[in-house]
Structure 1
């Protein structure tokens, strides 16, 4: 993880002074856990969870909100302020500050979508078959979220069918019994620098 963090720090900024790193993959594939560990390796880097940008009414139609609240201010070197969504109360909360930093991780399904990629310094994809990831997500969320998952799965299938992220991933992340293995992705081919394999 330290080798990966070092490699990401060496990338050129992609959004004003910030290196935005996308962490994408199927729901339930372990993106949040991986992003948290990578953030720690980066020295407690900020993680923007796309669950805070999306909503029940806009599972994937959140690109405009992300651009206006986060990408545009960071691109100007300013502190961004986004309104995190509460999935229990179904309402957006008070603004949360996201100051520009050398590296910010953007984690969530669709982090590598077509409309976001121009501002990413690198895109990481969590390698997991969709059915396995969804099963893990359902087990994690329990019966309380069964109805949500019944609607989410076809929505995710449709999203990635129209706007796939994996073909544009610079790095693929494989979960192992101990840690992770990170290898070049379909779009990687050296774009993220040396040390193509890291754990």
Structure 2
């Protein structure tokens, strides 16, 4: 994976992606489940895309963002439950399943997406690693990043759409961290400056 430049964030993301890819190879499964958790703006989405683009196994991974499953700004727990019920449990049982994308503008479920058990899954988003999901994962990752950097990246990315909801979302993240302790459950912890 060639380095894009000497930017410390890009370099940290590259190192993290290599570590995750090495962990996937070590699992020696044809359809591993990778969970990537962290707070808003930590770098989960970029990291998951890098891992997907450099997937070390035959076939392409099914990259699913919890942002597509959360049913609105108060839906962190509900989105994770949807992922567990509609994606992770069926995949673990070798069953074809579907999940429905949440339409943030219309505030309702949208189109369905299939998940095949023959391919690996990368599920990324805050809440991805909890006691129930970690049992179904082959690789679980916690992405740590300083609060100020995270907030700047998240608001640069999502702007005014996220700004009025930042504190509300952060409170749900706090509950997830206190209740589920994803840092302790993660098989791999990475830091993005």
Q: Indicate the TM-score class for this superposition, using the shorter chain for normalisation.
A: 0.7 to 0.9
Change beyond 3 A, Cα 1:64–1:7: closer
Instruction: Tell me if 1:27 matches 2:40.
Output: yes
Whether 2:132 is the aligned partner of 1:107: answer no
Q: Report the equivalent of 1:84.
A: 101
Q: How many residues align?
A: 173
Query: TM-score, normalization: structure 2?
Result: 0.79
- Listed one character per residue, the Cα deviations across residues 50-104 of structure 1 (whole Å, up to 9, x for unaligned) are 1122111422233442232112321231222000112222111121111123421
5+ unaligned residues in a row in structure 2: which ranges? Answer: 1-16
Alpha-carbon RMSD = 2.2
Structure 1 gaps of 5+ residues are 177-199
User: Relative to structure 1, is the Cα distance of residues 92 and 125 closer, same or farther in structure 2, using a 3 angstrom cutoff?
Assistant: same
Contact 2:131/2:185 (<8 A) preserved: no
TM-score normalised by the chain length of structure 1: 0.76
**SS, match of residue 167 in structure 1:** helix
SS of residue matched to 1:93:
strand
Deviates more, 1:64-73 or 1:90-99: 64-73
Residue deviations 1:123-173, cap 9 Å, x none? Answer: 111121234313321222112332222311222122212222112221122
SS at match of 1:124: strand
- The answer to whether the aligner puts 1:39 opposite 2:52 as a matched pair is yes
SS at match of 1:42: coil
SS at structure 2 position matched to 1:47: strand
Indicate conservation of the 8 Å contact 2:80/2:128, yes or no. Answer: no
Q: Is the 8 A contact 2:87 2:97 kept in 1?
A: yes
Identify the residue that residue 68 of structure 2 maps to in structure 1: 52
